[in-house]
Structure 1
Amino acid sequence: MDDIRTEDSPNGGRYMIGEPGQQAIMTFSRASSKLIIVDHTDVPDRFRGQGVGVKLSQHAVEAARKGGWKIIPLCPFFKAQVERHPEWNDVISH
């Protein structure tokens, strides 16, 4: 379950863990080529308490670092993770 898949398009995309129909998802939209908005995280009950949402958050941060873009944390879950991880501030747009 550690494999994170990415679906990407010019307007946005999502990061996913798990099998179709049984997966945790973090969605994002593109504000520009250098700015994304993490707008939603959905972790099914069966994955709660396993750190799956945090893994998706870390993946988004790593993708931003590799891609050279910033993230606007609109999703309440992701925003809470950003507050817990000040080391991510290099890719967070405040």
Structure 2
Amino acid sequence: MAEIKQGSNKFYIGDDENNPQAQITFQPQGDNQINIDHTGVPDELGGQGIGSQLVKSVVDYARENNLKVVASCPFAKSVIEKNDEYQDVYAG
């Protein structure tokens, strides 16, 4: 599995934060909430669970920083809603 790195309001796979192979981005929403607004995994990396691992990275980040998560990204929203372990940080 490729290494997931933390960037500015994102987690990504690749050598360059500005030109990642795959990424998930989020934006601050008020004092204690972030919104996952995009998950991008190219077709050649599809089917490897990379998108789900990127979502997990944001969930872990939220826990470490006492943040709640909302997701305007349909993929991230689906992953979070289906995973009981993520409900502690999910703000719906």
TM-score for the superposition, normalised by structure 2: 0.88
Aligned to 1:14: 10
Q: Secondary structure at the match of 2:87?
A: helix
- Residue 41 (structure 1) aligned with residue 39 (structure 2): yes
- With over 3 angstroms needed to count, the CA separation of the structure-2 counterparts of 1:36 and 1:75, relative to structure 1, is same
Root-mean-square deviation (CA, aligned residues, Å) is 1.4
Identical counterparts, % of pairs: 36
TM-score for the superposition, normalised by structure 1: 0.86
Tell me the distance in 2 between the aligned counterparts of 1:72 and 1:57: 12
- Structure 1 segment 1-94 matched on structure 2, within 5 A: 1-8=1-8, 13-20=9-16, 21=19, 23-94=21-92
- With over 3 angstroms needed to count, the CA separation of the structure-2 counterparts of 1:19 and 1:45, relative to structure 1, is farther
Gaps of 5+ in 2: none
For residues 62-90 of structure 1, give each alpha carbon's deviation from its aligned partner in whole angstroms, at most 9, with x where no partner exists. Answer: 11111110011110000110122021010
Residues matched between the structures, number: 90
Tell me the distance in 1 between the aligned counterparts of 2:48 and 2:54: 12
Structure 1 moving runs of 4+ over 4 Å: none
Gaps of 5+ in 1: none
